[in-house]
Structure 1
């Protein structure tokens, strides 16, 4: 199921495409950016996609202490992370 609007400027597709996955979840994909997020319902997938789009456009808050964020928010031990490898993009 897809929803798109007319593109009067000719600068690419606009709208959101919804895909029902085999496991029953729904994926919402922004046609302009190609970014996608999923959820248990269309509403949840769309809400998740809205957050991703906000971050993609520079919104959100900076992470002051990446190690603390990993430990407290994601339950990841920063000492077990590959110290030579780069941080994930969302922590840079």
Structure 2
């Protein structure tokens, strides 16, 4: 099931494609950027995708302390990380 509009500017595809996964979840994929997020329903997947698109476009808040973020938000002990492994891009 896909939703797209005509492309008057010639920039490429526009709209969102919904994909029903085998496990019953739904993935929403932005046709312009290729970014995708999933959820238990179309509404949840679309809300998650909207959040990702906002971050992709420079929205959101900076993370002041990556180690604190890892510990408090993701329950990852920063001391147990492989020191040679770089931080994910969103934590740099």
Q: Same fold (TM over 0.5)?
A: yes
Q: How many residues align?
A: 92
TM-score, normalising length: structure 2:
0.98
Quote how far apart the aligned CAs of 1:45 are.
0.1
Mapped partners of 2:16, 2:73: distance in 1: 29
Equivalent residue, structure 2, for 1:91 = 91
* Alpha-carbon distance between aligned partners in 1 of 2:90 and 2:49, rounded to the nearest angstrom: 15
- Structure 1 position 48, deviation (Å): 0.2
Which residue of structure 1 lines up, in the alignment, with residue 65 of structure 2?
Answer: 65
Q: Which runs of 4+ in 1 moved over 2 A?
A: none
Normalized against structure 1, the TM-score is what?
A: 0.98
What 5-or-longer segments of structure 1 have no aligned partner?
none
1:40 aligns with 2:40: yes
